[in-house]
Amino acid sequence: MAMDASPQRDSSVLAQINVTPLVDVMLVLLVIFMVTAPIIQQGVQINLPQAKAGAITGSEELLVVTIAKTGKIYLNDNPMSLGELGQKLRAIRKLQADKEVYLRADQDVKYGIVMKTIAEIKQAGIERLGMVSRPFSEES
């Protein structure tokens, strides 16, 4: 057996963490989130009517039908016609019979368009329909 003739090393452990790679990764993630955050916030701009109501709580993915000021209809920010909306909702209802749908309509949309949309949702077999509004404020 060969013996090590070098002086005996100190038995204390020198533990240092090199944080440079960690800082690099964190900076890259920061830049990615800064770039993607405004993209995630895109959606249909509507002016919701005000009402005194509580917030909606839910744990699953929501189905939101939006009617823009121009009368254009969206299902979860995907534009579609009234007929296409009915077909999509029928297909969704086949998968989940007790699915809820929330209707967001701009306060300046004609009443007839809103009623036609509600009728299409009901004809698709959706029984649970909620209306989305802004919280009521005393200033407006």
CATH for the stretch 50-135: 3.30.420.270
Summarize pLDDT for 77-100 with one digit per residue, the tens.
Answer: 889 998 898 899 888 888 887 788
pLDDT band of residue 26 (cuts 50, 70, 90) is: very high
Contacts of residue 26, defined as CB under 8 A and 6 or more positions apart, other chains included, come to: none
The helix (run of H) or strand (run of E) holding residue 22 is helix 20-40
What span, in angstroms and rounded, lies between the C-alpha atoms of 116 and 123?
10
Query: Percent of the chain scored above 70 by pLDDT?
Result: 71
The pLDDT score that the predictor gives to residue 34 is 86
Instruction: Report whether pLDDT(61) > 70.
Output: yes
pLDDT band of residue 25 (cuts 50, 70, 90) is: very high
The single residue listed with the structure tokens 């005194």 is 52
pTM of this prediction exceeds 0.85: no
Contacts of residue 114, defined as CB under 8 A and 6 or more positions apart, other chains included, come to: 67, 103, 105
Supply 120's token pair.
């299409």
- Say which range, 34-43, 58-67, 76-85, has the weakest mean pLDDT: 34-43
CA distances, 66 to each of 19, 41, 51, 103, 138 (Å): 47, 16, 17, 6, 26
Eight-state DSSP code of residue 60: S
pLDDT band of residue 28 (cuts 50, 70, 90) is: very high
Mean pLDDT, range 17-22, rounded to an integer: 84
pLDDT band of residue 37 (cuts 50, 70, 90) is: confident
Average pLDDT over all residues of the chain: 78
Mean pLDDT, range 66-76, rounded to an integer: 88
CA distances, 34 to each of 23, 24, 37, 120, 135 (Å): 16, 15, 6, 40, 29
